[in-house]
Chain A
């Protein structure tokens, strides 16, 4: 099989620079990292100087992603030799155990790091990742909440928590008994033990509240992120999506406002543009709004549709798919002006 340098006609310096760029941009293109990194390590180790250690780390993690335990092991040995007793290397050893699904051993590894250094956030977060990998999302949520009480500025953690809440599928019934929540026509319907088999619908109290609460908690996490990162359009846009999903007129209006805010921060955020269109049209179509509100939202939705149309035309090369998207958008516009 041809080497990377042969196939792409690149020098070892270019390969090294590529790895650095991927490191800096936090890319998780593990297969490519393994291809480039393995060759660099095998053929050009002596030329890399001190860079080699960070490359070993980068390649090791990528190797774990690709089930290349042989390569991961090699990298780990080199790092252990160079940095004996290092917490950072211990964490890598733990990650390898995780990849082999030896979760108890991995957990012990992280515990030993925490014994020496109780403030080691990396080890704590790995332990939470283990819970997530085992599907123990309720526990992961609990641990992550505890972690955030101590490390309140950790944005990555807040974001992870918001995702855990959004994907959390368990529902806490009235008596705190976990039962499955079933989605039905966009509404969360709880099947609770106390109702033995019957279904509690939107009108029924506590059960549904707990069920929807997780979206509220996800929103809270995103609010934290927006507060500390007011210029980040992605957090704004995700917050808007959560509000939209929660449903109800008030939440829809909030969602529209935050989609609009995201657009102000980045006028090329297509999700925000589509979101603005969707929220405004749902509000306009709602029987609960008065004529003024309806008119305003029709205006917003129409504006959004035109922007979407423009965006597709700018991107378009007249491809078949593109023409259909444009058509779909035009149909959306028609449906708005008709209502």
Chain B
């Protein structure tokens, strides 16, 4: 069963979709010291085996460079597990999250709860974890965690109905063919259209 998920919305309501099982991504944020942190985008990474190091390192390096070019910071990591009922963070998520937290202390780890997924996206299905004293603690996630949940919900639902996930490119796709663009400009355009 394909796992399709919604990521946190950002300024101008730009939700991103993840699809297929075990999709992981990172978020970026405009560099600012004000609280709270706003995630403005996310990049899907892999949909195969997540627990191997080399490609993850490559992805982190390349995306980090891209972030710097665009004055972004990698602000978190999100993961959707292959098994629907499995929504707790595993070692991979904790490891990558910790790595990101080394560079950005307020990094968040986000797990998707696929059991609550619907095409209408009426409620957020994310669990947000913060890094405290080497442990990941879950915080309450509700519509207030999003800048404009209503917009996000409408746009995401529309994208799902339109099957935009069929054209979603992740890092795995990029490694299969370098012409595949992991910044997903077409989907970004669709999102802006729907705003």
Interface residues, chain A, with chain B CB atoms under 8 Å away = 30-31, 65, 67, 133, 135, 163, 166-167, 169, 180-186, 238, 240-242, 244-245, 247, 255, 270-271, 274-275, 278-279, 311-312, 314-317, 319-322, 324-325, 327-328, 331-332
B183 → chain A, closest Cβ, in Å? 5
B91/A182 in contact, CB under 8 A: yes
A278/B98 in contact, CB under 8 A: no
Residue from B54, B65, B90 within 8 A of A324 (CB atoms): B65
Instruction: Answer yes or no: B94 CB below 8 A from chain A CBs.
Output: yes
A31/B163 in contact, CB under 8 A: yes
Further pairs besides A67-B1, A244-B52: 14, Cβ < 8 Å: A30-B2, A31-B163, A65-B2, A166-B51, A183-B94, A238-B52, A274-B58, A312-B178, A315-B178, A317-B179, A321-B185, A322-B178, A328-B66, A332-B61
Residues of B contacting A: mostly: helix
A167/B54 in contact, CB under 8 A: no
Distance A185 CA – B94 CA, assembled complex (angstroms)? 10
A300 → chain B, closest Cβ, in Å? 15
A313 → chain B, closest Cβ, in Å? 10
Which residues of A lie under 8 Å from residue B1 when comparing CB positions? 65, 67
Which residues of A lie under 8 Å from residue B94 when comparing CB positions? 182-183
B91/A183 in contact, CB under 8 A: yes
Chain A residue with Cβ nearest B63: A328
B178/A163 in contact, CB under 8 A: no
Distance A319 CA – B66 CA, assembled complex (angstroms)? 13
Given that A270-B175, A332-B61 are known contacts, is A321 also in contact with B52, CB under 8 Å in the complex? no
A241/B52 in contact, CB under 8 A: yes
Given that A135-B85, A169-B91, A321-B183 are known contacts, is A274 also in contact with B49, CB under 8 Å in the complex? no
Which residues of A lie under 8 Å from residue B62 when comparing CB positions? 324-325, 328
Distance A169 CA – B91 CA, assembled complex (angstroms)? 7
Given that A244-B52, A275-B54 are known contacts, is A324 also in contact with B91, CB under 8 Å in the complex? no
Which residues of A lie under 8 Å from residue B64 when comparing CB positions? 328
A311/B51 in contact, CB under 8 A: no
